[in-house]
Amino acid sequence: MSVQQIADRALLALGRRLIAEGYRFITPTPLTHERFLQRFTTPLAKDLRGVFGWSMPFDHALLPADELTALEQAGIVEQEGLLWRSTVRWSSLDGLLFAHSAYPTTHADSIFFGPDSYRFAQMIEAHLQQHFEPIRRVVDIGCGAGVGALIVARARHDAQVLAVDINPRALRLSAVNAELAGVSNVTVYHSDILSSVEGQFDLIIANPPYMNDSQQRAYRHGGGALGEGLSLRIVRESLPRLDKAGSLVLYTGVAMVDGQDPFLEAVLPELAGDTFGWTYRELDPDVFGEDLLKPGYERVERIAVVALTVTRRN
């Protein structure tokens, strides 16, 4: 096996150990995480949730010596002075366990997981419960840790589910998370939206980055004037790839300006005519309020997360 394969096997083994020991961690927003850690003069993990959930440094005695050595060799933990720290986090969602990047997500190839992930999963589950048409082929655009792909794959065992991303680390984690979940109908592909995959789809899902990030980190920066660029690309490139009765389920965020929704205004021309039926609603009217103080958001009143569902009629 290659070094990468050995590392992925070690990550999978860790995930299985955590499940066997009843590990559970619900991941909050970065701001809540920061405030939690501020309670400690010197944060130090006392258990596995502290290590793999709260991303606290830990003493070597917290893990067996042979396990610590194996995790270090796999790049899953690293030494910081006299202490150690995990490079990954493990989050629970609807009976599944997902590996993703440790807090804080400062690296360009970080894989983010948080409240958006939970809302995205709920949105997909609601869609599957309301639509009973056959789902043969599915793609999760910008799959990240694979949340959307795994939710669909678990609910539709006969579907071919593609998990695509431009970030190789996302594809590795999605593959590990899929194997940990015991689903065998997920395949990962490196693709910029749908450029590397062919054919039509019965379901296209996406939870793209939607912020205007000065560091342009892939998991956070949506492009465009206020982070809407990638979401608009997904709509425009996905609609022609929907099969008859196929749906696009898009979870994204919108920077509201002067009481107006610039994303909806931009996407309406794509939805005109009788080809598509669609619904649009705000899931949360106010998220990431702290970002309104950052450059580029001077005219933004609030940031909302929205759900756009588009279904091809003919």
pLDDT confidence of 157, banded at 50, 70, 90? very high
Residues 115 and 57: their CA atoms lie apart, in Å, by 23
- Which residue, among 253, 214, 239, has the nearest Cα to 310 in the 3D structure? 239
- What domains are defined for the chain? 3-101 (no CATH), 115-312 (3.40.50.150)
- Which residue, among 157, 191, 158, has the nearest Cα to 174 in the 3D structure? 191
Convert the pLDDT of each residue in 199-211 to its tens digit. Answer: 999 999 999 999 8
What is residue 33's predicted lDDT score, i.e. its pLDDT? 97
Average pLDDT, the chain: 95
Write out the DSSP string of 173-205.
HHHHHHHHHT--SEEEEE-STTTT--S-EEEEE
Residue whose structure tokens are 């389920």: 249
What is residue 89's predicted lDDT score, i.e. its pLDDT? 98
With a cut of 80, say whether residue 214 has pLDDT above it. no
CA distances from 56 to 20, 32, 47, 77 (A): 22, 15, 10, 11
Contact 263, 218 (CB under 8 A): no
With a cut of 90, say whether residue 248 has pLDDT above it. yes
What is residue 171's predicted lDDT score, i.e. its pLDDT? 97
Mean pLDDT computed over 87-103? 98
With a cut of 80, say whether residue 212 has pLDDT above it. yes
pTM: 0.96
| Stretch among 259-263, 280-284, 294-298 having the lowest mean pLDDT | 294-298
Residues 161 and 204: their CA atoms lie apart, in Å, by 10
Residues 125 and 22: their CA atoms lie apart, in Å, by 24
Convert the pLDDT of each residue in 43-81 to its tens digit. Answer: 999 999 999 999 999 999 999 999 999 999 999 999 999
Helix ranges, the chain (H): 3-20, 30-37, 48-52, 65-73, 115-130, 147-155, 168-181, 229-238, 262-271
What is residue 188's predicted lDDT score, i.e. its pLDDT? 98
What is residue 213's predicted lDDT score, i.e. its pLDDT? 76
What is residue 75's predicted lDDT score, i.e. its pLDDT? 95
User: What backbone phi and psi angles, to 5 degrees, belong to 138?
Assistant: -135, 150
What is residue 133's predicted lDDT score, i.e. its pLDDT? 82
